[in-house]
């Protein structure tokens, strides 16, 4: 498609302005077709940027620049009108100053490249919960990944219409080409100090410069669906959350939907695709990373997965840890920074089998496994990724594209907590649940930077890197949401912890055995769970959860008990090091929850 086919005047004017600033050689409007996707892949294969993976039909491998392998939190900015609006947990920059820097960087930055206009829908096209974005990018890698991760093309432009609203998302790899120059097979990006992942919450704009990777460049995901959407959600009375969504069916065919917020690298994708170890139960996937939830007319919260694919971490993914993910990526998958085998397959650490001889590692060098050498550099980058269409997941639920969303029965919060936090407990009320969400975090297990071993790195609601405004106001938004319905209609809230340790070893096997905990949560939603009222909330009775193989009844009892001393230390830490950051913005309801919890523990 070309520019003249853009009937939305605002969109057309924006594209023309950006083209005048960035000076691309050509402009293409993406139609979202298979032919377009294939052409992007071919361009990158011809350039030497993509390598076919013949063992997985339709799949290719990319190797990024070593400076461009993950989200860059210290180069991610929330440029709200005031520092206070961004709050204590975000990198703030003055919007005028930041725009000036960005205009300088974007000037002429697409020389020698094509400017792609990517109209995309976050959520099923036309869903009342969905939002439209348009990404301008000079990266065919971004175009191909956006085809997988979002809904792209003509249908989106039709819904947008001549006057519809969209979030403008401007992206450049930040590497203009001189006449006749090409990337020469090397991943284009700018140096770290020139990377900017910039968000302008008031004007709902995203400007991303200098990185071609993942969350920095696929702007529908973390930038739009979380940072900008969290601001829209606050203003419009809904919720944009870093949550998986799963469907669980009991042996009688009763269905519940659960959403879950876990910090990055806590096994969210594995939980979303879990294969239960309890007979007769079924878990199906709606989404593995982001949930948008809106109230229905019946007062319940309905969730959609705004994405259309999975952008999962490859290392550690195996037929044992996540067979559904493995089967999702056996074709039509974009791999980034994994290793390549001689017989044309991918390999990574934790894939479940030894490499079949010599590999090419993620940097493009020959690599032979040195068994027992703990210092050997990995063949795949630890943040190596796969991008695969959600419809390829064998466990994807029938409802995953329902435009109305699915009614959420339970919300789960969790983190990596080797001590204190039990396997599962249920909040007494919505506000108690909000309190639990606000204290989510993971314990520091090895000395990292300036953080003390054993201290908790808080990641409230798993939104620390993704909340586009003041986290204190975000807590208040959660409290306000609870006022909009009644306890019988709101989801029940739970905190889970798959990572408790005893004598230095994990006490709970996790993975498929987490279904035993989900069953108790399911029963709690039906009002049928065997529960005991404790100081910290409702907990399973000793016989409510079947111990999986290898877990003794004593161990199970230990991880299902209240660690009074641990919780009192936790409360002191929350008061002194966590809540204090939010000053006046901390909702009084959360302080009351903390005080009440302390009093209950002290009786
Ligand atoms: O490193 C990146 O650019 C991707 S980060 C990511 C990708 C998929 C799902 N979640 C995350 C995350 O960091 O939470
Ligand atoms: Mn995530």
3 state SS for 109-125: CCCCCEEEEEEEEECCC
Going by pLDDT thresholds of 50, 70 and 90, the confidence category of residue 451 is: low
Q: Per-residue pLDDT averaged across 473-491, rounded?
A: 98
Residues taking part in catalysis: 266
Compute the distance from residue 446 Cα to the ligand 1 centre, in Å: 22
> pLDDT tens-digit profile of 101-132?
999 999 999 999 999 999 999 999 999 999 99
pTM of the full predicted structure?
A: 0.97
Q: Which are the contacts of 527, defined by CB distance < 8 A and separation ≥ 6?
A: none
Q: State in Å: Cα 491 to ligand 2 middle.
A: 22
User: Alpha-carbon distance 141 to 43, whole Å?
Assistant: 10
Q: pLDDT band for position 357 (50/70/90)? A: very high
Mean pLDDT for the chain? 96
CB within 8 Å of 247: residues ≥ 6 apart:
255, 256, 257, 283, 284, 285, 286, 397, 399, 406
Identify the pLDDT of residue 450: 53
Residue nearest to atom 7 of ligand 1 (CA): 311
Return the half-sphere exposure (C-beta side, CA atoms, 13 A cut-off) of residue 74: 3
Ligand 1 centre distance from Cα of residue 311 (Å): 7
Say how far apart CA 228 and CA 264 lie, in whole Å: 19
Q: Determine which helix (DSSP H) or strand (DSSP E) holds 589, and give its type and residue range.
A: helix 588-602
Atom of ligand 1 nearest to the CA of 263: 14
Return residues with CB closer than 5 A to ligand 2 (ion).
289
CA of 188 to the centre of ligand 2 (A): 24
Whether 596 has a pLDDT exceeding 60, the answer reads yes
Exposure string over 448-486, b if 16+ CB within 10 A, otherwise e:
eeeeeeeebebbbbbbbbbbbbbbbbbbbbbbebbeebe
Mean pLDDT value of segment 503-508 = 94
Residue 449: what pLDDT?
47
* pLDDT for 141 beyond 60: yes
Question: Using CA positions, which residue lies closest to atom 13 of ligand 1?
Answer: 264
- CA-based nearest residue to 110, from 19, 176, 43: 176
Ligand closest to the CA atom of residue 465:
1
Q: Cα(257) to centroid of ligand 1, in Å?
A: 23
Q: How far apart are CA 483 and CA 579, in angstroms?
A: 22
Per-residue pLDDT, averaged over 413-440, amounts to 97
Ligand 1 atom 6, closest CA: 215
Residue-wise pLDDT tens digits, 509-566 = 999 999 999 999 999 999 999 999 999 999 999 899 999 999 999 999 999 999 999 9
CA dist 486 and 490 (Å) reads 6
What are the pLDDT digits (tens) for 172-201? 999 999 999 999 999 999 999 999 999 999
Q: Which atom of ligand 1 is nearest to the CA of 215?
A: 3
pLDDT band, residue 448 (cuts 50/70/90):
very low
Pocket-testing residue among 76, 189, 264, ligand 1, by greatest number of atoms within 8 A of Cβ: 264
Select the more confidently predicted residue: 443 or 471: 471
**Percentage of the chain modeled with pLDDT above 70:** 99
Nearest-angstrom CA–CA distance, 190 and 128: 38
* Å from CA of 251 to ligand 1 middle: 34
Q: For residue range 211-255, list pLDDT tens digits in order.
A: 999 999 999 999 999 999 999 999 999 999 999 999 999 999 999
Mean pLDDT, range 26-51, rounded to an integer: 97
Percent residues over pLDDT 90 in the chain? 96
> Over 80: is that where the pLDDT of 43 sits?
yes
Q: Which atom of ligand 1 is nearest to the CA of 383?
A: 1
* 308 CA distance to ligand 2 middle (Å): 14
Q: Sorting pLDDT into bands at 50, 70 and 90, what band is 446?
A: low
Distance between CA atoms of residues 456 and 545, nearest Å? 28
Mutate which of 213, 215, 305 for ligand 1? The one with the most ligand atoms within 8 Å of its CB, which is: 215
Instruction: Quote the ligand 2 centre to 260 CA distance (angstroms).
Output: 11
Q: Which ligand is nearest to the CA of 313?
A: 1
Q: Report the sign of the C-alpha dihedral through residues 311, 316, 318, 321, in that order.
A: negative
> Per-residue confidence at 273, pLDDT binned at 50, 70, 90?
very high
Atom 12 of ligand 1: nearest residue by CA position? 264
* Phi and psi torsions of 290, nearest 5°: -135, 140
Q: At what angle do helices 430-438 and 588-602 cross, to 10 degrees?
A: 90
Count the neighbouring beta carbons within 10 Å of the beta carbon of residue 99.
18
Question: Residue whose CA is closest, atom 14 of ligand 1?
Answer: 264
Atom of ligand 1 nearest to the CA of 214: 3
Are 378 and 460 spatial neighbours (Cβ–Cβ below 8 Å)? no
Picking from 293, 285, 292, the residue whose alpha carbon sits closest to that of residue 309 is 285
Phi/psi for 4 (5° steps) reads -65, -20
Q: Which residues line ligand 1 (CB under 6 A)?
A: 70-71, 213-216, 264, 289, 311, 383
Residue-wise pLDDT for 381-419, tens only, equals 999 999 999 999 999 999 999 999 999 999 999 999 999
CA distance 325 to 396: 10
Number of Cβ within 10 Å of residue 197's Cβ equals 26
As to burial, measured by CB atoms within 10 angstroms (0-12 exposed, 13-18 middle, 19+ buried), residue 505 is exposed
Atom of ligand 1 nearest to the CA of 310: 8
Residue 444: is its pLDDT beyond 80?
no
Chain centroid to Cα 386, Å, comes to 14
Residue 71: pLDDT band with limits 50, 70, 90 = very high
Confidence of residue 264 (pLDDT cuts 50, 70, 90): confident
pLDDT of residue 434: 98
Q: Atom of ligand 1 at shortest distance to CA of 311? A: 8
Residue-wise pLDDT for 288-314, tens only, equals 999 999 999 999 999 999 999 999 999
Confidence of residue 603 (pLDDT cuts 50, 70, 90): confident
Is residue 526 classed as helix, strand or coil in its secondary structure? coil
| 3 state SS for 310-343 | EEEECCCCCCCCCHHHHHHCCCCCEEECCEEECC
């Amino acid at each position: 498609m070309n520019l003249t086919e853009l009937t939305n005047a605002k969109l057309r004017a924006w594209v023309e302005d950006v083209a005048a600033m960035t000076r691309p050689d050509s402009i293409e409007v993406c139609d979202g077709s298979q032919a377009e996707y294939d052409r992007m892949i071919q361009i990158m294969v011809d350039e030497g940027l993509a390598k076919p993976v013949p063992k997985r039909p339709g799949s290719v491998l990319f190797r990024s620049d070593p400076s461009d392998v993950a989200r860059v939190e210290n180069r991610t900015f929330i440029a709200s009108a005031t520092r206070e609006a961004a709050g204590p947990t975000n990198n703030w920059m003055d919007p005028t100053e930041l725009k000036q820097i960005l205009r300088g960087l974007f000037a002429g930055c697409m020389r020698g490249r094509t400017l792609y206009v990517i109209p995309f829908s976050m959520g099923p096209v036309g869903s009342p919960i969905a939002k439209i974005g348009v990404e301008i990018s000079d990266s065919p890698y971004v175009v191909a990944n956006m085809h997988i991760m979002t809904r792209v093309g003509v249908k989106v432009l039709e819904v947008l219409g001549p006057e519809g609203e969209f979030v403008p998302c401007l992206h450049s790899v930040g590497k203009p080409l001189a006449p006749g120059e090409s990337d020469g097979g090397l991943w284009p990006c700018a140096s770290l100090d020139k990377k900017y992942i910039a968000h302008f919450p008031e004007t709902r704009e995203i400007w991303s410069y200098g990185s071609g990777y993942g969350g920095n460049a696929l702007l529908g995901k973390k930038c739009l669906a979380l940072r900008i959407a969290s601001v829209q959600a606050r203003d419009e009375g809904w919720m944009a959350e870093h949550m998986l969504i799963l469907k669980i069916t009991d042996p009688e065919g009763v269905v519940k939907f659960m959403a879950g917020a876990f910090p990055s690298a806590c096994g969210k994708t594995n939980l979303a695709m879990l294969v239960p170890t309890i007979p007769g139960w079924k878990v199906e996937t709606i989404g593995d990373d982001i949930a948008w939830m809106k109230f229905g007319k019946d007062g319940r919260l309905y969730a959609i997965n705004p994405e259309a694919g999975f952008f999962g971490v490859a290392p550690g993914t195996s037929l044992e840890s996540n067979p559904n993910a493995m089967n999702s990526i056996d074709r039509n998958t974009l791999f980034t920074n994994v290793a390549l085998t001689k017989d044309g397959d991918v390999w990574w650490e934790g894939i479940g089998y030894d490499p079949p001889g010599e590999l090419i590692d993620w940097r493009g060098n020959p690599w032979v496994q040195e068994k027992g050498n703990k210092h050997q550099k990995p063949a795949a980058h630890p943040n190596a990724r796969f991008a695969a269409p959600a419809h390829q997941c064998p466990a994807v639920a029938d409802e995953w594209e329902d435009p109305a969303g699915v009614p959420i029965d339970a919300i789960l919060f969790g983190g990596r907590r080797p001590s204190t936090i039990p396997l599962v407990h249920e909040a007494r009320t919505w506000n108690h649940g909000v309190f639990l969400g606000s204290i989510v975090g993971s314990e520091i297990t090895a000395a990292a930077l300036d953080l003390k071993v054993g201290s908790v790195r808080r990641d409230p609601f798993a939104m620390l890197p993704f909340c586009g405004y003041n986290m204190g106001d975000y807590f208040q938004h959660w409290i306000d949401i609870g006022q909009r319905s009644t306890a019988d209609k709101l989801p029940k809230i739970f905190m889970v912890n798959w990572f408790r340790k005893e004598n230095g070893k994990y006490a709970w096997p996790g993975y498929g055995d987490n279904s035993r905990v989900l069953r108790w949560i399911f029963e709690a939603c039906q009002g049928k769970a065997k529960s005991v009222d404790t100081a910290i909330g409702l907990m399973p009775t000793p016989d409510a959860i079947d111990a999986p193989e290898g877990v003794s009844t004593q161990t199970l009892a230990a991880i299902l008990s209240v660690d009074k001393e641990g919780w009192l230390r936790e409360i002191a830490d929350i008061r002194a090091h966590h809540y204090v950051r939010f000053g006046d913005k901390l909702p009084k309801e959360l302080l009351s929850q903390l005080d009440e919890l302390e009093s209950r523990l002290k009786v």
